[in-house]
Amino acid sequence: MPRDPRFDILFEPVQIGPVTAPNRFYQVPHCTGMGYRRPKSLATMRGVKAEGGWGTVCTEYCSIHPSSDDEPFPSASLWDDEDIASLAMTVDEVHAHGALAGVELWHGGAGSANFYSREAPLGPASQPAGVWDPVQTRAMDKSDIRDLKRWHLAAAKRAQRAGFDIVYVYAAHWYLIRQFLLPSNRRTDEYGGSLENRARLLRELIEETKEAVGDTCAVAVRFSASNGGPDNDQDTSEPREMIEMLGELPDLWDIVVHDYSYEMGTSRFVPEAGLEQTMSWVKTVTSKPVVSVGRFTSPDTMLRLVRQGVIDLVGAARPSIADPFIPQKISEGREDEIRECIGCNICYTGDQTGTPIRCTQNPTMGEEWRKGWHPEFIPPKGSDSTVLIVGGGPAGLEAAVALGKRGYDVMLAEARRELGGRVSLESQLPGLNQWARVTEWRLNQMAKLSNVEYYLESVVDEEQILEFSADHVVIATGATWRRDGIGRWHEDPIPGWDGSGVMTPDDVMAGMVPSGHVVVYDDDHYYIGGVIAEKFRKEGLDVTLVTPANEVSTWTTHTEEQYRIQQRLLSLGVDLQTGMSLASIGEGSVTVECVFTGRTHDVAASNVVMATSRKPQDDLYHALVDRINVTRIGDCLAPGTIATSVYSGHRYARELDADVPVPVPFRRE
Ligand code: ADP
Ligand code: SF4
């Protein structure tokens, strides 16, 4: 299909200082959990983005000097000349597809605790360093500031030698340069106090970086358009004054905000183009090109923001992770094939846990080098085998689509009246509606595959499966929530679990309505307990959330949601009982027990929702395993996230009739 001419504007080149971006699609710096530890994985992954049409592809934050490391979160680094070669691999991969390569030079200052280098962290003042880490910075004196500028220039020159086209001065988030910009910088020398003084370090770094590498490299500044506040009423006054002052100095402004949970907020809390109101003034105070993000997956939204002069370049991290080929798809009139980011932030959990990036929508993310997986191409089938898949959740659907694309004849049987499994159910819960995109994209792909058939309302049993006589049978029947309370805290059933008022998340999603006072017992610690508490409270019920953890939905610190979830539940008036386990369930009340002291008290409860752990639905698998060629995937194999199910289904499809290395099924760096 030809490109819709209204999108032509997105494919116009953009001059950025001495370099020209071939189009407006700009992959902003984003962390990957790979950094300096996995340079080949990184280079190949970034190269795939350039191949997919992103006209500019940047690295993650790149430490300029050992006086700032962010371990255990792996950043890139340009500490000395030895670091050049590994980043040059990324540059080469990106250049191979005609895109520009950008590097985000970084010094964390008080934002990092330096547990790897063991150097005393640096800051504008002696202040707490890291997050909750028990260390403080050393206040920088004038010679430290001179050193910092020297290191920054040395790293910029190394970046130039590596071949980068865009070099960043990173003045955003809670890192060193921004620590100088903030009103809390009360230094009494010319680098603190007045707004002009606080901006002095940034001004000097921009000027000196341009002087050093500006002949071939554009100098970009990453900058926060706000100093915090409610999402659509952020305090932008000082940032605005600063851009008014420095606006013409860099070649590009890369605009973000103070608060990560807003800037890269999950779809549960922040809509597409969520930063628009906060940053739309930037282009009125600078003539330089502006890039910003907003989980843009809709070409129309991209178009509107460019047309309205809010941005010049369409910035993306997550949309480019979920679909590295968005630009190419728009260019070829295939907008309907865009695999839209669902805004779950599983991709961010890689960095947060010091492990390589993964994506719910794109199972090939992070596997480009080590498994040779490509997001758009999959090898043709290795035989004429037929495949029967039982279960049309994310695992079964992904397997069906990927096998279908390989050319296998696939039949999929689904018990329910609709496909999507847990995704179609969970996406009905408050704030999770965009998760339905996991199903929608796969249904759309399946519709284009004449070799994939599916049957709804088809509960198949062992004998029916045998009747299909498929060469391969895949059991993707998912998992069900346990009713007995066994989970992370309880190894044995909770007394009273079999009472009539006990429900599971499956019951809630099937439409069962509780009455009176509801206790949600969350020993799962991801989103489901918090989201069910939110749902019932919004429906007007009295809700108590009990969890053995010290905060609600504690794993969501990795998705940058925990603070917002707890804030929302508290504002809604949900009673939060943290550090408490559920000791027993009685008639009309439950007994909860402090996990520290063992002290107990009773809480009124006419219903209890057990969000603790899940049981794989693997009976069919066990009934068939000794009789036919059968495999289980997804939650049926091991209950996990939607991302693990999609990956599991994709992996099955890739590995059918393929040679898979043993014992390690991937390449290592
Ligand atoms: P996963 O995340 O592994 O894909 P889900 O629980 O989301 O797991 O999906 C499993 C799907 O399997 C559900 O849609 C469920 O209705 C379906 N299913 C379970 N048992 C059967 C069966 N015996 N026959 C057909 N479909 C089944
Ligand atoms: Fe989007 Fe989730 Fe993929 Fe991240 S993991 S890119 S948020 S779909």
Number of residues written out for the chain: 669
Q: Which ligand is nearest to the CA of 296?
A: 2
Predicted confidence (pLDDT) at residue 46 exceeds the cutoff of 90? yes
Residue closest via CA to ligand 2's atom 2 equals: 344
Nearest atom within ligand 2 for CA of residue 317: 6
* Catalytic residue chosen out of the listed positions 175, 191, 527, 647: 175
Bridge partners (DSSP) of residue 15 are 20
Helix (H) or strand (E) holding 166: strand 166-171
Helices of type H across 174-229:
176-181, 195-198, 200-213
CA distance 450 to 398: 16
Provide the percentage of residues in the chain whose pLDDT is more than 90.
99
For 162-186, give one letter per residue: b (16+ CB within 10 A) or e. Answer: bbbbbbbbbbbbbbbbbbbbbeebe
Predicted confidence (pLDDT) at residue 232 exceeds the cutoff of 90? no
CA distance 394 to 636: 12
Please work out whether the CB of residue 583 comes within 6 Å of at least one atom of ligand 1: no
Q: Which ligand is nearest to the CA of 350?
A: 2
Sign of CA dihedral 96, 101, 105, 108: negative
Please work out whether the CB of residue 415 comes within 6 Å of at least one atom of ligand 1: yes
* CA of 134 relative to ligand 2 center, distance in Å: 33
User: Ligand 1, from 344, 360, 398, 414: best to mutate by most atoms within 8 Å of Cβ?
Assistant: 414
Please work out whether the CB of residue 510 comes within 6 Å of at least one atom of ligand 1: no
What Å distances lie between residue 455 and 62, 451, 458, CA to CA?
Answer: 50, 13, 6
* CA of 360 relative to ligand 2 center, distance in Å: 6
User: Ligand 2, from 49, 261, 318: best to mutate by most atoms within 8 Å of Cβ?
Assistant: 318
The DSSP bridge pattern shows strands 19-21 and 452-455 to be: unpaired
Q: What is the DSSP string of 282-327?
A: GGGS-SS-EEE-S----HHHHHHHHHTTS-SEEEESHHHHH-TTHH
Please work out whether the CB of residue 394 comes within 6 Å of at least one atom of ligand 1: yes
pLDDT band at 10 (very low <50, low <70, confident <90, very high): very high
Helix (H) or strand (E) holding 474: strand 472-475
Please work out whether the CB of residue 501 comes within 6 Å of at least one atom of ligand 1: no
pLDDT band at 131 (very low <50, low <70, confident <90, very high): confident
End-to-end CA distance of the chain: 40
- Residues 386-402: tens digit of each pLDDT: 999 999 999 999 999 99
* CA of 358 relative to ligand 2 center, distance in Å: 8
Active site residue 116: no
Helices of type H across 375-436:
394-406, 422-426
Q: Which ligand is nearest to the CA of 358?
A: 2
- Residues 140-166: tens digit of each pLDDT: 999 999 999 999 999 999 999 999 999
Mean pLDDT of the chain: 97
CA distance 15 to 289: 8
Q: Which 8-state DSSP code applies to residue 136?
A: B
* CA of 432 relative to ligand 2 center, distance in Å: 13
User: Ligand 1, from 455, 463, 474, 477: best to mutate by most atoms within 8 Å of Cβ?
Assistant: 477
Residue tagged 């901006």 (tokens): 199
| Average pLDDT estimate for 520-539 | 98
| Average pLDDT estimate for 198-222 | 98
Predicted confidence (pLDDT) at residue 296 exceeds the cutoff of 90? yes
SS3 610: strand
| Average pLDDT estimate for 250-275 | 96
Predicted confidence (pLDDT) at residue 415 exceeds the cutoff of 90? yes
* CA of 609 relative to ligand 2 center, distance in Å: 28
Sequence-distant (6+) residues with CB within 8 A of 391 are 412, 413, 414, 415, 421, 475, 476, 477, 478, 634, 636
Q: Which ligand is nearest to the CA of 434?
A: 2
* CA of 346 relative to ligand 2 center, distance in Å: 6
Residue closest via CA to ligand 2's atom 1 equals: 341
Q: Which ligand is nearest to the CA of 558?
A: 2
Please work out whether the CB of residue 148 comes within 6 Å of at least one atom of ligand 1: no
* CA of 40 relative to ligand 2 center, distance in Å: 22
Q: Which residue ranges have their beta carbon within 6 Å of ligand 2? A: 318, 321-322, 341-347, 359-361
Predicted confidence (pLDDT) at residue 50 exceeds the cutoff of 90? yes
Please work out whether the CB of residue 267 comes within 6 Å of at least one atom of ligand 1: no
Predicted confidence (pLDDT) at residue 209 exceeds the cutoff of 90? yes
Nearest atom within ligand 1 for CA of residue 416: 16
* CA of 411 relative to ligand 1 center, distance in Å: 14
